[in-house]
Amino acid sequence: MVRVNSYGASVAQRGEDARFDEVVARVAAQRGPVAILDAPAAGIDSSSLGPAIGSLLAAPLVDGGRVIGSLHVGTLARREFAEETVELLGLAADRAGLAITRMCRRERDHRIAQELQRSLRPGVLPSVPHVALAARYEPGDHGAAVGGDWYDAIALPGGRVAVAIGDVVGRGVEAAGTMVQMRSALRAMLMEAEDCGETAEHLNRFALGLGECVLTTVVLAVFDPATGALRYTNAGHPPPLLIGADGDGAARYLEDVPAPPVGVMETPDYQQATLRLEPESTLLLYTDGLIERSTEVLDVGLDRLRGAAAGAGAGDDVDLLCERVLGTLAGAQGATVDDVTMLALRALPRREAERPRRLA
């Protein structure tokens, strides 16, 4: 209850407060303000506005032309409401109705975006011989908004595996909708990927074909456990982190193939890089929500991630590695505004007869 001078005010919504159902019904039928000069005589229980309310004035709350409730004011003594008072309450109700409409739309868009992300995020990562995979996703800002983060892992013919992580710039249902299209397109492209650079170029043409600027950062990689060969391309995304298999789990960033995000240039030059992933070494892909803070430069976040991952390569499995990194960076540092997404790939040891052959 709110009291202003000799008035109290409350909002009643149809079906939620039986004491005001009759008033809401009158307002809905009249589609305008309703004044009840003698509330007790009319049998209206207005006690939530205050004790012994004499007169009551109600104005409709409208959402898209539909009356969803009413805004009430009451006086302790019986009185007639001046025209200015009726107009003022009508204006207040109009503004309240607009605020409720915006809030409902935001909640609806948020639910849609969450469902889009939930439905398209891999429920189970593929099982690939001699490869361990793990992923984590934490919505930013306590889940109040939804962004365009996504990850994917696909088992390919010949025992290979493709992994990707991306981030569509922006938040809300629009970013989530674009994420759906980008992820679906890239998944189809990765199934036939021979060169990661060419795949990134195909994705760039797809993004440009959407008809508006769809700036998206992405890292995509294909790993062959039979040879240990890892082929990858980075399109404007934070650099992948390679955690070594040696005793101290030394970590270094793969920063040799920087290129612009997809969706911003007609003819970008996306190059593929190749390296050997030694047994027990781990490739960690992530989005910027894991490392970025508004109060510091990006290098600080990159150093923090490298420190959290160092030493975890040899002993922890990939799930525990993700938990340790996420707990250190997103836990102790507090909740981030942006979403946090991680995808880890580890090369598992093979029997001696299956040792990978050296690359030429």
The answer to whether residues 341 and 289 touch, using CB atoms and an 8 Å cutoff, is: yes
pLDDT of residue 59: 86
**C-alpha–C-alpha distance, residues 342 and 288, integer Å:** 10
For residue 153, the model assigns a pLDDT of 94
The pLDDT of residue 9 is 45
Contact (CB, 8 A) for 12 and 96:
no
Q: CB 192: neighbour CB atoms within 10 A?
A: 10
Structure tokens at 84: 């200015």
User: Do the beta carbons of residue 288 and residue 336 sit within 8 Å?
Assistant: no
Backbone angles phi, psi at 328, to 5 degrees: -75, -45
What does the pLDDT read at residue 243?
92
In the predicted model, what is the mean pLDDT of residues 314-325? 81
Q: How many residues does the chain have?
A: 360
Structural domains in the chain, CATH included, are 2-113 (3.30.450.40), 121-354 (3.60.40.10)
CB 94 within 8 Å of CB 60: no
What does pLDDT average to over the chain? Answer: 79
pLDDT value at residue 257: 67
Could you give the C-alpha distances from 150 to 137, 183, 197, 325, 339, in angstroms and in order? 9, 7, 20, 18, 10
Segment 147-173, tens digit of pLDDT:
678 899 999 999 999 999 999 887 666
Q: Which of 21-47 are b and which e, b meaning 16 or more Cβ less than 10 Å from the residue's Cβ?
A: eebbebbbeeeebbebeebeeeebebe
To 5 degrees, how large is the angle CA 31–CA 35–CA 39?
A: 125
- Mean per-residue pLDDT for 61-89? 81
Q: Which among 280, 284, 285, 286 is positioned nearest to 244, based on CA atoms?
A: 280
Q: Look at 3-17, 188-202, 318-332 and tell me which has the smallest mean pLDDT.
A: 3-17
Helices (H), 35-121: 83-120
Mean pLDDT of 29-51: 74
**CA distances, 276 to each of 11, 356, 359 (Å):** 65, 10, 8
| 3-state secondary structure (DSSP) of residue 264 | coil
> Is residue 360 predicted with pLDDT exceeding 60?
no
Average pLDDT rounded to a whole number, residues 290-316:
80
Stretch 64-79: mean pLDDT: 78
Q: Please tell me what DSSP assigns to residue 281.
A: -
Overall average pLDDT of the 48-68 stretch: 77
The tens digit of pLDDT for each residue in 105-127 reads 777 766 766 666 666 566 689 99
Residue 236: pLDDT over 70: yes
